Structure formats: structure tokens, C-alpha cells
Structure 1
Amino acid sequence: MKKPETNLTRYEKIQNFNPLVSRLHGTRYKHLIALFNDLSLKNPSRPLKVVDIGCAHAKAFDVLQSRFNIDYVGIDLDEELVRTAKARYSKYSNFRIIHDSVTNHYNELQNVDVIIALESLEHIPESIVVRLIEHIARAKPAAFMCSVPNEVGPIVFLKNIGSLLTGYMRHKEYKWRETLHAGLFNLDKVETHGIGHKGFDWRWLAQTIRHNMPITETHTNPFDWLPKTLSFSVIFICRQKS
């Protein structure tokens, strides 16, 4: 049953702004379910241990809990989102959430089956993301999955102009000259990336992951046949060799 609008957080209202935005944000869960379908077949006798980095209101738990046998730990810094997740899911014995930075909880990455970071790594300083990827690689989960927005190349024109025309908010992070330069791959003319979308370059993340573990699947959003330059977001999945 769909939650009443009054029960949604501001973050959820943004993600459900219109049917297109909702669909684009939902693509990652389609790939998440496919990944867990495969992993659960290989481990039918026990719960899959999951760590969700930047879990927000723990939608991934909601998606997975109804379909798979899981043991879930979420980590997020946002107090409101953590409070919302606790109110919704703390009744489940297989749910736990940590209100803190992942940098204080690298131990949680040990001895788990799946580590996920869905639309969260762009909101973490890049120096921390590099160390985080290294810790994930050393932990050797059966799978690591992350999704990040595409903020470089022609898709930025479409995203920001579409945002303006529909009354969405994402274009407000950019100055219009920054939209132009980001769309032309000229990030030197865009404010250096911090913890937002502007200036984020998924390509350095892909290279960082590649240096530490094999990327076995790359997906584009909303369709896998799209070239990455026209993808709204990019999804990476890394799996350990059997």
C-alpha cells in the first residue's frame, strides 16, 4: 500500500516529484532485486547480510525485506531520515540503523554478503570515498553495488532544463554557465565537487573502484542500451569470483 503523502519525508517527496523522476529513481531497485535474486539462490539456507551506506529512510530494506531473507544494517548521517527509518522498521529484528558517518564504522563492512551505496557516494567527500572503496575491497563482500548521478556531458543539459520547465529543484544547484560547461565535459569551469551533485564526475569513481575490485556489471538509467553520456545515472556492480 502506498504511504500517504503526509507520511513522506522531504527527501521522498523530491524523489516522487513526478512520474518521470519517480521512475528514474526506481531503476536502481530493479537492479538491486536482480542481484539479490541471484545471490539468494546461491545462499538459500541463511539470511544475506547487507550493509547500506547512506541508507536515507532505508527504502532498500523495504524493497528487500518483502522478497528476501536478509539481515540489514543501514548507516546514515541525516537525523530526520534515520528517525523515519527507525519509526518504520525498528519492529523488525533483522533491521538495524546507525546514525553516524561510515568512517566510524568500517568494522560493519566485515563478514557481510552485500554492501550497497545507492545515490549516496556523491554526497560524501571524495577523499573519504576513496578510503571507503578500499575498505570495501578489503572486506571482500560477495557483491558491492553503487549508483551515482551523471553530472557530466550532454545529459546535464536535459536534466537541468527539464528541472526548470517542470518546477523541479535540481537545476538550482547550478549556475547556468556551469550547466553549459558541465554539459560540454568542461568541469574545470564548474565549482569543485563537494557533497552535492554539481561537479561530480562518475568517471573518477569508476576508476577508483576498478583499481580495487572488478566491475562486473555497469548499468545506465533508465535503459541499459543508453550510452553513458545520455544516462541519468550510472550503476556499478562488483562481484567476487566464485
Structure 2
Amino acid sequence: MTQKRNIADYNSRLFNTGRIRRFYHMARFDFVADLIKRRKINVEQFLELGCFDGRLLQHIPQPDHYVGIDANVEGGLDLAKKNYIDDSSKVFIESLSPENLLTFESDSFSAFASLETFEHIDPDQLDAYLDEVSRVLNGDLIITVPNEKGPVLLVKKLVKRIIGSRSDPYSLAELFYASIGRMERVARREHKGFDYSRLVDQIDHRFELISVKGIPFQWLPPVLNLTVAIHARSRITSVELDG
């Protein structure tokens, strides 16, 4: 019962607490849906990391085969399994480790998505996750993460302090360094100290980087947006070129 209550609270907090908050949290789903349609991305074999309750499935063309992986911290994965219990094309796996990706064959997915998840991954595991995603994916990669540096972060934290939030883990020195992009001077803890630029570099090392955009306002650069959306594609190997 506790998990169900947590799921309801979580979804209500993100999607039903005012129009502005809903607009912000829906922006990532709208971005992915638009990108898939506009770029004609093949979603037949779809892998999602951090799927929670499978909400993304409501916004994309239905894959022939879908695998959703999630830590199930708030019970979202349990709800996804319940909602899709009669659909054998949807598989949900509880996992906290990149080792679970080892069970999939190379090039077995045509698309990969991960929304607001990579900021939660232990920095020591990021390379392992990206290596495995690179191995199992032959297609498009879409990742969204929060912008936790620069002027956007400074404004967010100042607003929180003005309204009296006491849950801010930043010291004044860390807030200063994060606001000028000196993330090496900020201790990492989930969102705190997360640097989307480093993630972009790690992705670029393994994939063909297509675009890095800010959302919800794509006409603004990523540094001035609340969320950063990364689109990349599997590199074409020499074997594929010869074929």
C-alpha cells in the first residue's frame, strides 16, 4: 500500500500540481515524441533505462518489443508490470547495475531512451552503462537530464532559499562554483554536482552526436534551459560499410 501511495504522490507532484510544473515535466515526453516523428526513428526494438511506470509508452509509437529497466525505488516498476501484465511485448526489469544489460545480444535494440535518470547514476558506473548501451544499441539514443550548473541553477537555488526551503545540500561555496560551471569543486550527490557537459563528452566518445538541445525552450541554448536533451546515433562500423 505504501508503494502505491508513493507512486500517486510522485505522479501528482510532477504532473498535476499546476500548469507550469506540468508543462515543464511533460516537455521531455513531448520532445521525445516529436523527435521520433520528425527523424523517423525506428522504435521497433526499444530499450528504456529509468522507465518508472512506463509513461513514455503513452507518447511514442508502440514498439514490437520494449524493455524497461528501473531501480523501482518508489514502486513505479511494479505499477508498469501491473499495467502491461497482458502485453508480452513489454518487459520490465528491476535493476541497479549495468550488468543486467549483459543479458542482451549486441545490436538487439533500434532505439534507446533515458529520461531524467543519468544524473542519479553513480559516476563510477556511468562508463559501464554507456559501454553496454553502445553494445546493445544499433540506432538512436535519446537522453534528457537536468541542467545543474550555470545561471539556471543559481536562479533555482535562490528561489528555493527565498521561499524558505531547507533541503538545499549546497554550501555557499559550492553554489558559487556550480553557477560558474566549476563542477569539479562541487561534491556529487545525485543531482548535486551533476555536469551534463561531461555526459555529452562521454556519449560523443561512443556515439555519433546529433544534437544537444535545451528544453522546454529549444530556441534557448542548453545552458539557459532547465533540461538538456541529447540525441545521438550508433556509429557505423567498418563491417557495416563493407556490407
Q: Does TM, scored on the shorter chain, surpass 0.5?
A: yes
Unpaired runs of 5+ in structure 1?
Answer: 1-5
Q: Does 1:108 align with 2:104?
A: yes
Alpha carbons of structure 1 residues 173 and 26: separation in structure 2 relative to 1, 3 Å: farther
SS at match of 1:199: coil
State the one-letter code of the partner of 1:179. Answer: L
Q: CA 1:114 to 1:167, structure 2 compared with 1: closer, same or farther past 3 Å?
A: farther
* Structure 2 residue identity aligned to 1:90: I
User: Does residue 132 of the first structure (1) align with residue 126 of the second (2)?
Assistant: no
Q: Is residue 93 of structure 2 the alignment partner of residue 98 of structure 1? A: yes
1:9 aligns with 2:8: yes
Counterpart of 2:186? Answer: 190
Shift of 1:162: 3.6
TM-score (norm 1): 0.82
Residue of structure 1 equivalent to 2:241: none
2:54 pairs with 1:58: yes
Report how many aligned residue pairs link the two structures: 229
Provide closer, same or farther for how the CA distance between residues 174 and 70 of structure 1 changes in structure 2, counting only shifts above 3 A. Answer: farther
Give the conservation status (yes or no) of the 8 Å contact 1:51–1:109. Answer: no
- Structure 1 residues 204 and 122, CA, compared in 2 at 3 Å: closer, same or farther? same
Give the aligned CA root-mean-square deviation in angstroms: 2.8
Matches of 1:73 and 1:235 in 2, distance apart? 21
| 3-state SS in 2 of match to 1:148 | strand
1:6-32 alpha-carbon deviations (Å, 9 max, x no partner): 795333233234322221222221221
**Residue 75 of structure 1 contacts residue 102 of structure 1 at CA under 8 Å; is this kept in 2?**
no
Distance in structure 2 (CA, Å) of the matches to 1:87 and 1:166: 39
1:14/1:220 CA distance change after superposition, 3 Å: same
In the TM superposition, residue 177 of structure 1 has moved relative to its aligned partner by 4.5
Counterpart CA distance in 2 for 1:129 and 1:145 is: 16
- Is the 8 Å Cα contact of residues 118 and 148 (structure 1) preserved in structure 2? yes
Aligned partner of 2:240 in structure 1 is none
Q: Distance in 2 between matches of 1:42 and 1:84?
A: 27
- The reply on whether 1:145 has 2:139 as its aligned counterpart is no
Equivalent residues of 1:113, 1:141 under 8 A apart: yes
The question of whether the paired residues in 2 share the 8 Å contact of 1:57 and 1:81 is answered with yes
AA aligned to 2:78 is R
* Per-residue Cα deviation, 1:159-208 (whole angstroms, up to 9, x for no partner): 22344566889x634345533331122334422x13x1110000110101
